[in-house]
A and B are shown apart, each in its own frame.
Chain A
């Protein structure tokens, strides 16, 4: 209780510093570039310091900061638009995944497994650590586009507009990202659970 009160009465700049590493984690995951992530988090801190009165008591400080960070991340993506969508050197592995999943006649090589009780899995914090690690393993350009959709919750049309992507190009990137994530979760979470 004392520590909670201690944080509550801290000066605003100290409270913000407490959340910096948390914000950096999400900025890094979305932007895949340390310098861009630093920029987005610094801008978030400056915005919070310049208008602390707009925080008031309407939400938790962290919720408020994450809300600001999302806007700052979109600003960075907009400024760096030409670099954001550069194709990754490592390729996207889409064809290899297809070849692993399906036989030549279009049937599954191995039937998809049941993932157990999803509600139970989604109550596990550890599951989300694995989910984040899987998102982090996506190639940089694909990961940025995918998280614009899933973390920033931007509509497809807006992502196309911001990054000057064709809808076809965007859907191919999202498609491959989803298949990679599914594969990663299957191997690193659901497969292990079935085996244990």
Chain B
């Protein structure tokens, strides 16, 4: 099962994705897991909130 990932592995991939491009196999594995998992999409949304927060923070720091 080359595309099977645990939640722990997926959380690591989601965090890594913030700083670098993931290989194709990892991107596909991530998509499969997120479609089937009840926990990981919430973690993905948390990271998105953090990304938006830092964008907004940079903006505030220069206002």
| A interface, CB within 8 angstroms of B | 26, 60, 62-63, 66-67, 98, 101-102, 105-108, 111-115, 118, 121-122, 125, 127-128, 131-132, 149-151, 153, 156, 167, 170-171, 174-175, 178-179, 181-182, 185-186
- Number of contact residues on B: which range applies? 20 to 34
By a CB distance below 8 angstroms, the chain B residues around A175 are 12, 15-16, 19
By a CB distance below 8 angstroms, the chain B residues around A115 are 45-46, 49
CB <8 Å contact, B38 and A111: yes
By a CB distance below 8 angstroms, the chain A residues around B47 are 178, 182
How many angstroms from the CA of A118 to the CA of B48 in the assembled complex?
A: 9
Query: Distance in Å from the Cβ of A88 to the closest Cβ of chain B?
Result: 20
By a CB distance below 8 angstroms, the chain B residues around A127 are 53
By a CB distance below 8 angstroms, the chain B residues around A181 are 50
Q: Is B57 interfacial (CB-CB < 8 Å)?
A: yes
A-contact bits for B20-36, CB 8 A (1 contact / 0 none) = 10000000000000000
A-B contact count (CB 8 A): 93
**Given A98-B8, A102-B7, A128-B57 in contact, is the A108-B39 Cβ separation under 8 Å?**
yes
12 A/B residue pairs, CB under 8 Å, sorted by A: A66-B61, A106-B8, A107-B8, A115-B45, A118-B48, A122-B52, A150-B58, A171-B20, A175-B12, A175-B15, A182-B46, A182-B47
CB <8 Å contact, B50 and A179: no
How many angstroms from the CA of A66 to the CA of B45 in the assembled complex?
A: 30
Query: Distance in Å from the Cβ of B57 to the closest Cβ of chain A?
Result: 6
Query: Distance in Å from the Cβ of A37 to the closest Cβ of chain B?
Result: 15
Query: Distance in Å from the Cβ of A174 to the closest Cβ of chain B?
Result: 5
Query: Distance in Å from the Cβ of A55 to the closest Cβ of chain B?
Result: 14
Residue from the list A67, A105, A167 in contact with B62, Cβ < 8 A: A67
By a CB distance below 8 angstroms, the chain A residues around B18 are 174, 178
By a CB distance below 8 angstroms, the chain A residues around B54 are 131, 150-151
How many angstroms from the CA of A36 to the CA of B42 in the assembled complex?
A: 39
CB <8 Å contact, B9 and A128: no
Query: Distance in Å from the Cβ of A45 to the closest Cβ of chain B?
Result: 17
Query: Distance in Å from the Cβ of A42 to the closest Cβ of chain B?
Result: 19
CB <8 Å contact, A112 and B46: yes
CB <8 Å contact, A107 and B7: yes
CB <8 Å contact, A128 and B19: no
